Amino acid sequence: MGEVVSFLSLGSNLGKREENIKRALDLLRRDEDIKIVKTSSLYETEPVGSKAQGWFLNQVIKIETNLLPQNLLKVIKKVEKEVGRVRGKKWGARIIDIDIILYGGKNLATKELTIPHPQLRRRKFVLIPLVEIAPRVTCFKGETASYLLKSLRGGEEVRLYKDASC
């Protein structure tokens, strides 16, 4: 299998959020089957679901990989564990959360993994950084990331935390 372009979202709202994301990026960079091509700025985001938790830092990265989606997910879960993630309640606070948002234009629906990410069209905290690095990437049936963001009404507050050039 050749290199496939994929987009991952990273988020953290426990501990030293920026350090957690940097650590996850470092661990992903060490994997010989993953090449980080581009990183978005960091965004601070109001939590979705339970509001009784700290705000998240979020980022989207563009990678190239020769891993199949299921194997990429295994690497991601290993990275999350190494950073200190303990799986708890859905949409709860977390040291690190990494999701596969898009994978080479593929659609996939298994028990463990759905691509494109099923919540993508409702999540400003993913769409804003995705549009920053890949505005014309196709997400659903010809809908670009830019189109999805423009179509989104309301949603969580998202603000720039640190520009990608920093």
By annotation, the residues acting in catalysis are 85, 94, 97, 99
Residue 88 gets the label, from left (phi > 0), alpha (psi -120 to 50) or beta, of beta
From 18, 105, 28, select the one nearest 59 (Cα to Cα).
18
The closest of 105, 125, 123, 124 to 115, measured between CA atoms, is 105
DSSP string for residues in 43-73: EEEPPSS--SSPPEEEEEEEEEE-S-HHHHH
Both tokens of residue 149? 């963001």
